[in-house]
Structure 1
Amino acid sequence: MNGAGGITSLTLQENNTVHVGVFGELDVFTGPELRTLVIECLDQRPAHLVLDVSGVSFCDSSGLAALLEAHKSALQAGATFTIDGVRPAMRHVLRITGLDTRLGLRPKPARQRFES
């Protein structure tokens, strides 16, 4: 588990998929941490990158930008990208910004992988 600054993360790798559980606030201060974490995960050359954001308590526009950048980085690395565990408030923001269709949200939360 990593928790150097404002976000805490837990990374799990199975079947050529990297699952990343993100906990805390995703904002101007922690967005760079997420970007670094995603690059480190993509260095493992997974076929799939899944971000579980069920532990994210707040996400501002900088957090949304970090998610967009994570999506772009995954695609450039040849990996699929999925966001899992999106809470209703975040889902609403993603829907009104149009990012819900762009970022590969799972329609229903998958089984709980990470617990805070």
Structure 2
Amino acid sequence: MAEANRSESSPPSRAGLRITASDDPSGGVLLTAIGALDYYSANGLVAAVQRAFDAGAPGVTADLAGIGFSDSSGLAALIRAHKSALNGGRRFTVRNPDRNLSRIFALTGLHTVLDITHLPPP
């Protein structure tokens, strides 16, 4: 993102996922996702991550606190974003997954693969 505090929002997908992109204080891009991360919306997240990398972002943080549901397509999208970051020498961080998504990460072993951070509530 070229301008400080610049924010872009995608229209909701068929499943109702909304992704907002803004500057992250770390110098990368913060993607805030709200809705369902599923078969209908997973490619939208991957595309948003790729747009940020194509624009030169050194890293992307995906804040998933607003994700109420994820299926296997959503998990695959997070893995694709992670691999894209690794292949480009960049970083991809998942921030604030809710309790259910954190449990899925633990059950699938993704908590050992993805860079996951939890921020305390404001």
Structures share a fold, TM > 0.5? yes
Q: Give 1:89 deviation, angstroms.
A: 0.5
Runs of 4+ in 1 over 3 A off after TM superposition: none
Per the alignment, residue 59 of structure 2 pairs with 48
CA RMSD in angstroms comes to: 1.5
Stretches of structure 2 that go unaligned for 5 or more consecutive residues are 1-8
Confirm whether residue 13 of structure 1 aligns to residue 23 of structure 2: yes
Q: 1:72 to 1:48 in 2, by over 3 A?
A: same
Equivalent residue, structure 2, for 1:89? 100
Equivalent residue pairs, number: 111
1:7 shift after superposition: 1.2
Question: Which has the bigger relative contact order, CA under 8 A and spacing at least 6?
Answer: 1
Q: Percent identity?
A: 30
SS at match of 1:23: strand
Kindly report which structure 2 residues correspond to 1:1-116, keeping only aligned pairs within 5 A, or say none: 1-5=9-13, 6-14=16-24, 15-106=26-117, 108-109=118-119
Equivalent residues of 2:53, 2:59 under 8 A apart: no
Equivalent pair of 1:84/1:110 in contact (CA under 8 Å):
no
Q: CA deviation at 1:78?
A: 1.7
- After TM superposition, the score normalised by the length of structure 1 is 0.88
Report the TM-score, using the length of structure 2 for normalisation.
Answer: 0.84
Instruction: Give the AA of the match of 1:35.
Output: V
Give the SS at the match of 1:105.
strand
What letter matches 2:97 in structure 1?
A: V
- Higher gyration radius (CA): 2
Q: 5+ unaligned residues in a row in structure 1: which ranges?
A: none
